[in-house]
């Protein structure tokens, strides 16, 4: 249920905070205690950190692709990667110590995890996809890690996905969102979400097709509105909980990938992006951007096994 009615706001300008030149910047997460933004560059197998106070930029590398991250206890990160979900510990030598938490049985060789985040109760949700996206193969699945009796087990909840994206949860945790980026679908679904069992139900179309672009990563603000990066369009759209388009913000790159609220008041919207090999040298693609949309977000829950 997608309409074109927009509220009247002065559109904020996107600020480049880091010319990171990420091949596929993804999964930005604001770390409240550190006042720092973390994100990944998937094909570079890299975890990045940018500190707001001094603009210091740190990078750690793993031995396989990191697709999504969520904070975990003791300065660690839970991460969906290629062969499963790992616990990552950044080291002083620029390396990530990786400990396998749960292996995944992919439908085919050549797959990895993609978008992911924790629900309000600290269970990790992430979807899988075929690395060769040109095949448009619906072999991806959505998994949950954590919950009663499944602390270190991956539970497959949905299948028939091509490029799962846009996972988010309403402020009360009782609505779950999921998107599929593939051109043949471009759909965002909503589910009723049982916060006790960690099970989604009553799947329905939330956005049949974005106002522009295809759905990528998303974030939720404190009003329960859904912010979705529209890849190929250089925009981030805000949809109200009833599926109305509220506004669209521009970034100076065609492929924003995911957004996250951060800053001292959680009133800054950070946006990652990707950079193609054919991108002109002076283009900002692959950079990390900040916008001030006039609303606040919600701190991301940490993983709780």
pTM of the complete model beyond 0.85? yes
Q: Is the pLDDT of residue 228 over 80?
A: yes
Q: How far is CA 33 from CA 16, 263, 272, in A?
A: 23, 11, 21
**228 CB-near residues (< 8 Å, 6+ apart):** 166, 179, 188, 207, 210, 215, 216, 217, 218, 236, 237, 239
CA 35, distance to chain mean position in Å, is 19
Domain regions of the chain by residue span: 15-291
Active site residue 216: yes
Domain 15-291 has CATH 3.90.1200.10: no
The closest alpha carbon to 28, from 246, 263, 205, belongs to 263
The one catalytic residue among 180, 216, 221, 285: 216
Average pLDDT over residues 91-111: 96
Q: For 6-28, write each residue's pLDDT tens digit.
A: 444 567 899 999 999 999 999 99
Q: Supply the mean pLDDT for the chain.
A: 94
At residue 135, the 3 state secondary structure works out as: helix
Q: For 159-197, write each residue's pLDDT tens digit.
A: 999 999 999 999 999 999 999 999 989 999 999 999 999
Q: For 25-63, write each residue's pLDDT tens digit.
A: 999 999 999 999 999 999 999 999 999 999 999 999 999
């Amino acid at each position: 249920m997608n309409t074109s009615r927009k509220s009247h706001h002065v559109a904020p300008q996107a600020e480049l905070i880091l010319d990171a030149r990420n091949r596929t910047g993804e999964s930005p997460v604001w770390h409240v205690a550190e006042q720092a933004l973390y994100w990944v560059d998937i094909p570079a197998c890299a975890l990045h950190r940018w500190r707001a106070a001094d603009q210091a930029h740190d990078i750690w590398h793993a031995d396989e692709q990191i697709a999504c991250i969520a904070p975990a206890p003791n300065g660690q990160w839970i991460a969906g990667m290629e062969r499963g979900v790992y616990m990552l510990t950044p080291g002083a030598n620029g390396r990530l110590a990786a400990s396998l938490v749960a292996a995944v049985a992919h439908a085919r060789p050549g797959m990895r995890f993609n978008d992911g985040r924790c629900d309000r109760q600290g269970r990790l949700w992430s979807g899988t996809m075929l690395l060769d996206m040109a095949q448009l193969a619906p072999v991806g699945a959505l998994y949950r890690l954590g919950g009663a009796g499944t602390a270190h087990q991956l539970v497959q909840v949905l299948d028939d996905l091509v490029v799962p994206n846009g996972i988010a949860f309403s402020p009360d945790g009782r609505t779950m969102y999921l998107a599929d980026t593939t051109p043949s679908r471009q759909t965002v679904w909503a589910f009723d979400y049982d916060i006790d069992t960690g099970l989604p139900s009553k799947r329905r179309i939330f956005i049949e097709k974005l106002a522009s672009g295809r759905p990528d990563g998303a974030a939720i603000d404190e009003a329960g509105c859904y912010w979705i990066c529209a890849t190929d369009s250089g925009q981030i759209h805000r949809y109200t909980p009833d599926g109305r388009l509220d506004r669209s913000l521009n970034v100076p790159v065609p492929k924003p990938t995911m957004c996250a609220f951060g800053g001292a008041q959680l009133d800054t919207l950070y946006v990652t992006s990707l950079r193609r090999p054919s991108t002109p040298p002076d283009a900002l693609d692959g950079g990390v951007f900040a916008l001030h949309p006039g609303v606040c977000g919600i701190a991301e829950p940490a993983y709780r096994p």
